[in-house]
Amino acid sequence: MTKPFDIVVHGATGFTGRLVIEYLLQHYPAGSGVRWAMGGRSADKLAAVRDEVGAPADTPLVVTDSADAASLQALMAQTRLVLTTVGPYQLYGNELVAACAASGVDYVDLCGEPAWMRKMIDTHETSAKGSGARIVFSCGFDSIPFDLGMLMLQNEMQAQFGGTANRVRGRVRKMKGTFSGGTAASLKATMAAAMQDPGVMDLLRNPFSLTPGFEGPRQPSGNKPMLEEDTGLWVAPFVMAAINTRNLHRSNFLLGHAWGADLVYDEMMVTGPGEKGEAIAKAVAADKSLGAEGGPKPGEGPSRAEREAGFYDVLFLGQDAAGHTVRVGVKGDRDPGYGSTSKMIAEAAVCLLQDARGTTGGIWTPASAMGVALIARLQKNAGMQFAVESA
């Protein structure tokens, strides 16, 4: 049976969901070969957003309520893939992941909640493998640039030196833009869960929390400012490292440890040289504003001008046991939390359906599910650059 839609955007009336719709309108309009629909709890709100973003009047609208079992089953019958921007996922994603895993429907999200992700892996990976559903978490700024940056670095190391880098550093060289209200809400929800369940805190502390049955070597904590001797630059803790490091280790795990079972990885933000770099690094380390009150709320975000003025630039430095080194840069042309993230998840959805047909059912990461095909799409369509750099 052919389903009417390839993709339903669940949460199309939210801030990030609207940006996804705008992107799909521009890159995958009617007749492009990608059949997509706007999904949300209110038909009236969906119609209003459709008109506000300038979508054609015949753009399909699907009323989806993840708290309603009948609504979820109807959604499963209508689409090949659900793209969901409705977080925190530990509050609003449980039933949707369960339905997709049971029904053989693909799924992509923007999750940065490792304890919840581990719960979904433990609970639903077997059913997803049985049904053929490909569940791919973390298809936004956390963790696509980092996951695919590592993939490109290891591929280049293999091509140049015939082996992999067992020590890799991810360094955010430049970044302008705000983190999303959803990221802040996810952090608060995760901390609340950790207060209630000590097991959640154990998962949050473990860099291998997403690799069930595998514990690799000791990893750097990355939680204190430090001066890196080889560059002469100060680095500070990077707020997304807690999720990105776990996703990268899961990618390696799912790829059969193609990057080596001894991989050591850390991720930090570059703040510059000298006393000024040191002062900034210490200020960054002391900043706890992301989880505080008064930050952006889910559904809120920067203006178009602010999004378009944003950018990011991440360097990956890899070294193998023999001392060979490779450098890979990953850059994005919009603010990370909204402008670039909305493009990444849209391309991930299309890539999973069109380019990753050999990927079987299960719970995946972007690098392990889509690999270099996703790099190609992001470079072609989404304003991202992946490049091997000289020292």
What pLDDT score was predicted for residue 200? 67
With beta carbons less than 8 A apart as the criterion, state whether 250 and 263 touch. no
Distances (CA, A) of 275 to 50, 171, 278, 285, 290: 51, 19, 5, 15, 25
What pLDDT score was predicted for residue 300? 72
364-386 pLDDT tens trace: 999 999 999 999 999 999 999 99
Q: Which residues contact 353 (CB under 8 A, 6 or more apart)?
A: 6, 7, 34, 80, 81, 106
DSSP 243-269: HHHHHHHHHHHHTTSTT-TT-EEEEEE
Q: Is the pLDDT of residue 261 over 90?
A: yes
What pLDDT score was predicted for residue 63? 95
Listed in sequence order, the DSSP H helices in the chain are 15-27, 43-52, 69-78, 89-92, 94-103, 114-131, 144-161, 181-196, 198-205, 241-254, 274-286, 304-309, 341-354, 366-381
Distances (CA, A) of 315 to 107, 212, 270, 287: 29, 29, 10, 23
CA–CA–CA angle 3, 20, 316 (5° rounding): 115
Q: Is the pLDDT of residue 29 over 80?
A: yes
Interatomic CA distance for residues 157 and 381, integer angstroms: 26
What pLDDT score was predicted for residue 197? 73
Q: Which residue is listed with tokens 């009323």?
A: 63
Model pTM? 0.94
Q: What is the mean pLDDT of residues 215-222?
A: 94
Rg for the chain, CA atoms, rounded:
20
Confidence of residue 183 (pLDDT cuts 50, 70, 90): low
What pLDDT score was predicted for residue 192? 72
Q: Is the pLDDT of residue 299 over 90?
A: no
What pLDDT score was predicted for residue 199? 73
Least confident residue range of 12-16, 58-62, 190-194? 190-194
Interatomic CA distance for residues 210 and 247, integer angstroms: 7
Interatomic CA distance for residues 252 and 259, integer angstroms: 6
Confidence of residue 304 (pLDDT cuts 50, 70, 90): confident
Of 163, 149, 165, give the one whose Cα is nearest residue 374: 149
Phi, psi values for residue 339, rounded to 5°:
-60, -50
What pLDDT score was predicted for residue 146? 98
101-126 pLDDT tens trace: 999 999 999 999 999 999 999 999 99
C-alpha torsion sign, points 373, 376, 381, 383: positive
With a pLDDT cut of 70, the percent of the chain lying above it is 93
What pLDDT score was predicted for residue 181? 67
Q: What is the mean pLDDT of residues 147-151?
A: 98
What pLDDT score was predicted for residue 297? 66
CA–CA–CA angle 117, 38, 338 (5° rounding): 55
Q: Is the pLDDT of residue 36 over 70?
A: yes
Better pLDDT: 299 or 283 = 283
What pLDDT score was predicted for residue 66? 83
Phi, psi values for residue 59, rounded to 5°:
-60, 125
Q: Is the pLDDT of residue 6 over 80?
A: yes
Q: Which residues contact 248 (CB under 8 A, 6 or more apart)?
A: 143, 146, 147, 150, 265, 365, 367
Of 144, 53, 112, give the one whose Cα is nearest residue 340: 144
184-210 pLDDT tens trace: 676 677 767 767 777 767 777 899 999
What pLDDT score was predicted for residue 204? 74
Interatomic CA distance for residues 267 and 271, integer angstroms: 13
Q: What is the mean pLDDT of residues 156-185?
A: 88
Q: Is the pLDDT of residue 291 over 60?
A: no
Phi, psi values for residue 255, rounded to 5°:
-90, 15
264-276 pLDDT tens trace: 999 999 999 999 9
